[in-house]
Amino acid sequence: MILLTIITFIAVLGVLVLVHELGHFLTALKFKIGVDEFGIGFPPRLLSKVRNGIRYSVNLLPLGGFVKIRGEDGENASDPDSFASRPVWQRIIVIIAGVGMNILTGWLILVILFSTGAPVELDDSIQPKYIREKQVVVTELLKDSPADKAGIKPGDKLVSIDGLLVESVEHIQDTVNKRAGMDTELEYSRDRENTVVTLAPEHIEDSGTDRAVMGVTLSEVGKVRLPVYKAFIFGTRATYSYLQQITDAFGGIFKDLIRGAGVNEQIGGPVAIVVRTNDVLDLGLPYILIFAAVLSFNLAILNILPFPALDGGRLVFLVVEAIRRKPSRQEIEAWFHRIGFALLMLFIIFITYRDITRFGGRIWSALIR
């Protein structure tokens, strides 16, 4: 399992970084801006070939790739092929193309999933004829509830209750409601293994209604396969939803920092990605692809942030140049990006350390299983 987890992690992150750089590369070619090298992976070089003045290389470290655009740091401004010599609007397009490619990649993954079979939470917008393998899944768990004491966890798929196959959320609720205080057999599936437990639903009064509960929130999840035109629609909706959620999450991070609340515990770095990669490996290829799409959206939003050393930071300098109608001093911009890069590295080190302390034994188990 260790080899598969590492390979999957490198492959997913590497492809998404490479796609990002490919966006810069293709737009630079479109505007006939000079490109010195496009590399797969990071040096030292293993193989390289020069074609039409561009060096294409395959490198030893397989974490994505890079593109060297002539004059991207402001040098050779008098060279007509230089990035620095081009109009601001062309340079802006080249800068944001990496972000655009990440969004496009995530959207394309979702469209392909919806057209071939995507695991999603079901609602009335999805016609039953497009649904396969419908399951009832535990999404939330109340602490110290009958289900919690029986060992149920979020993500478990309910198979049967008192020997009857689970048909729907309503089926579970109706059965549980009749068995307050009575031993009830519940079969669930986790990591492709079925387990049977016994629990006694508890009687509660909720808004004047007497009912029995296990202490779980349930959702119906199914594999949805749509016609191509509907897959485009649903993929676009899902892309918008993910981007909105990720943007809101980053906004919450900055609000917490401004208030002095520190960095949210849910934020993770490379170690967290390894652990999450291991988690989705257990669920199968569709979940790995969803994970890749969401990670691609995260990379897009992260890179467009107006922070030095990121694409968004470079974009800020281009906007300022457009307003002032003259370029910023190259030395000042270079120092801003160096400082920003150093701060990013310190932040990654901090997040990595916190991930190690937060995940504890899960890091080791993710690698040795």
Higher pLDDT, 59 or 263: 59
For 223, the token pair is 């594999």
Is cis: bond before 44, omega within 30 of 0?
A: yes
Contact 74, 331 (CB under 8 A): no
Q: Is the pLDDT of residue 349 over 80?
A: no
Whether 264 shows a pLDDT value over 80: the answer reads no
**Greatest mean pLDDT range, 19-33, 155-169, 237-251:** 19-33
* Helix, strand or coil, per DSSP, at residue 84: helix
Of the candidates 367, 281, 277, which has an alpha carbon nearest to the alpha carbon of residue 2? 367
Lowest pLDDT segment from 129-133, 192-196, 311-315: 129-133
Which one has a higher pLDDT value, 90 or 135?
90
Q: What gap in Å lies between CA 134 and CA 167, rounded to an integer?
A: 9
Q: Determine the average pLDDT of the residues in 358-366.
A: 50
Q: Does domain 121-224 have CATH number 2.30.42.10?
A: yes
Length of the chain: 369
Residue ranges of the chain that CATH labels 2.30.42.10: 121-224
326 pLDDT higher than 90 = no
Q: What is the pLDDT of residue 368?
A: 45
pLDDT, position 266: 57
> Which range has the worst mean pLDDT, 27-31, 303-307, 329-333?
329-333
Higher pLDDT, 276 or 188: 188
pLDDT per position as a tens digit, 203-247: 776 655 567 888 888 888 888 888 999 999 999 999 999 999 888
| pLDDT at residue 355 is higher than 90 | no
* pLDDT at position 85 over 70: yes
Please indicate whether residue 63 or residue 44 has the higher confidence score (pLDDT).
44
In the Cβ-directed half-sphere of 219, how many Cα atoms lie within 13 Å?
A: 15
The more confident residue out of 155 and 56 is 56
As a whole number, the mean pLDDT across the chain is: 82
Element (DSSP H or E) covering residue 69: strand 54-69
Give the pLDDT score at 38: 95
Q: Which residue has the higher pLDDT, 232 or 355?
A: 232
Identify any residues that bridge with 65 across adjacent strands, giving them in sequence order.
40
Q: Name the band, by pLDDT with cuts 50, 70 and 90, for residue 14.
A: confident
Q: How far apart are CA 290 and CA 249, in angstroms?
A: 18
**Can you state the angle between helices 270-281 and 361-368, rounded to 10 degrees?**
50
Ordered alpha helix ranges (H), 121-260: 146-149, 169-177, 228-259
Residue spans of alpha helices (H) in the chain: 2-30, 88-116, 146-149, 169-177, 228-259, 270-281, 285-304, 311-324, 330-359, 361-368
Count the neighbouring beta carbons within 10 Å of the beta carbon of residue 27.
21
pLDDT at 366: 45
Largest Cα separation within the chain, whole Å, is: 83
Q: What pLDDT shows up at residue 263?
A: 55
- Assign 308 to helix, strand or coil: coil
| pLDDT at site 362 | 47
Residue 316 CA, distance from chain mean position: 25
Q: Of 268, 272, 280, 192, whose CA–CA distance to 4 is shortest?
A: 280
**DSSP-assigned letters across all residues of 37-54:** EEEEEEEEEEEEEEETTE
Give the separation between CA 111 and CA 16, rounded to whole angstroms. Answer: 17
Q: Do residues 302 and 102 touch, judged by C-beta distance below 8 A?
A: no
